């Protein structure tokens, strides 16, 4: 299989998983099922930590030659926003005592992440135009990020090195 096709397939699978977890989140918050939202948050954070990491450490830099630096900075900023949202969601997940405003907020915040999932998946079409070596490097960094296994909030607070004002619960 061509390496870009392999990449697209893995990338699509990861986005599918994130999409499904987010949609489940949207269902679970109004039920105030703290056990479920807590577990979902853990799963989303575990999946998106390595995903964001290899995007930022390898995929985005590789795509600079296609998109130019300006759009790549926008992609980083989109991640900044999602990370802030994730920190807020981590304060709302796992609780059975959310009031109506908090439930609305949680659902709205979760929905605000969804467009990133579909937008991000579209990057595959540009990855097809990268040199094979560059795509392989992205896949290598993906492996390393998955082996390191840091969840999104841990990676963002300890490794990422971009200021995203936030605090852990
Ligand atoms: Fe992504």
Question: What separation in Å is there between the alpha carbon of 113 and the centre of ligand 1?
Answer: 11
Question: What separation in Å is there between the alpha carbon of 125 and the centre of ligand 1?
Answer: 13
At residue 166, does pLDDT exceed 70?
Answer: no
pLDDT tens profile 96-149: 999 999 999 999 999 999 999 999 999 999 999 999 999 999 999 999 999 999
The DSSP annotation for 10-26 comes to HHHHHHHHHHHHHHHHH
Residue appearing with tokens 């439930």? 103
Percentage of residues in the chain having pLDDT higher than 70: 96
Question: What separation in Å is there between the alpha carbon of 165 and the centre of ligand 1?
Answer: 22
Q: How far separated are the first and last CA of the chain, in Å rounded? A: 44
Question: What separation in Å is there between the alpha carbon of 9 and the centre of ligand 1?
Answer: 12
At residue 40, does pLDDT exceed 80?
Answer: yes
Q: What is the mean pLDDT of residues 72-101?
A: 97
Residue appearing with tokens 């709302």? 92
What is the reported pLDDT for 7?
98
What DSSP designation does 136 have?
Answer: H
Token readout for 53 is 């990491």
What average pLDDT does the structure give for the chain?
95
What is the reported pLDDT for 169?
41
Percentage of residues in the chain having pLDDT higher than 90: 94
Q: Is 69 exposed, middle or buried (0-12, 13-18, 19+ CB in 10 A)?
A: exposed
The DSSP annotation for 35-88 comes to HHHHHHHHHHHHHHHHHHHHIIIIIHHHHHHHH-HHHHHHHHHHHHHHHHHHHH
Q: What is the mean pLDDT of residues 77-98?
A: 97
What is the reported pLDDT for 163?
72
Helix axes 69-92, 60-67, angle to 10 degrees: 140
At residue 165, does pLDDT exceed 70?
Answer: no
Question: What separation in Å is there between the alpha carbon of 86 and the centre of ligand 1?
Answer: 15
Q: Is 93 exposed, middle or buried (0-12, 13-18, 19+ CB in 10 A)?
A: buried
């Amino acid at each position: 299989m061509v390496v870009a096709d392999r990449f697209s397939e893995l990338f699509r699978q990861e986005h599918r998983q994130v999409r499904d977890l987010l949609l489940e989140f949207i269902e679970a918050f109004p039920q105030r099922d703290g056990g479920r939202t807590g577990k979902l948050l853990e799963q989303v954070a575990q999946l998106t930590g390595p995903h964001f990491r290899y995007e930022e450490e390898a995929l985005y830099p590789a795509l600079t030659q296609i998109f130019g630096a300006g759009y790549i900075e926008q992609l980083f900023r989109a991640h900044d926003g999602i990370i802030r949202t994730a920190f807020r969601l981590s304060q709302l997940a796992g609780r059975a005592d959310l009031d109506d405003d908090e439930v609305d907020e949680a659902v709205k915040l979760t929905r605000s992440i969804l467009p990133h999932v579909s937008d991000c998946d579209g990057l595959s079409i540009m990855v097809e135009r990268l040199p094979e070596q560059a795509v392989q490097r992205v896949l290598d960094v993906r492996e390393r990020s998955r082996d390191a296994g840091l969840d999104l909030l841990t990676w963002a607070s300890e490794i990422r090195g971009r200021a995203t004002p936030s605090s852990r619960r």
